[in-house]
Amino acid sequence: MDFRMFATTAIMNFFIAFGVIIGGCIIGGIGAFFVSSPAFSEMNRLASNMKIWAVVTAIGGTFDTIENLEKGFLDGSPIEVVKHLLLIASAMTGAHTASIIIHWITQE
């Protein structure tokens, strides 16, 4: 994986995880409103609980990343391990950034 492909994948992971949290919280808030629950409280709860699922969605939801990490360790290719850890960190950063924005919007 060259640098351009790595950067593209990292940026996509960030925004996919970001979108999962923002979209899920907005739609969840609308659903909470329809069932007469406090929408902002539900959005706040969802922002905290959906982070791991946003990361899984961003990295593809498969074991490819974990398999590549294993290959990197077993084949003695530490650069591949670092690349995949950075891709996971990019997705985690996107999910956390979206969570902070939701907490800021809901003021909770």
What six digits make up the tokens of 47? 């922002």
The predicted pLDDT at position 10 comes to: 93
Mean pLDDT of 11-34: 96
Query: Domain ranges in the chain?
Result: 3-106
Residue 68's Cβ-count burial label (10 Å; 0-12, 13-18, 19+) is middle
Nearest Cα to Cα of residue 44 among 95, 103, 101, 98: 103
Alpha helices in the chain (DSSP H): 3-34, 39-49, 51-59, 64-74, 78-106
pLDDT in tens, 78-94: 888 888 889 999 999 99
The span from the CA of 102 to the CA of 29, in Å, is: 11
Q: Write down the pLDDT at residue 61.
A: 64
Note whether 87 and 65 are within 8 A (CB): yes
**What pLDDT sits at residue 37?**
94
The predicted structure's pLDDT at residue 62: 59
Question: By percentage, how much of the chain surpasses pLDDT 90?
Answer: 65
What is the band of 77 on the pLDDT scale with cuts at 50, 70, 90? confident
Q: Which residue, among 26, 37, 10, 32, has the nearest Cα to 93 in the 3D structure?
A: 10
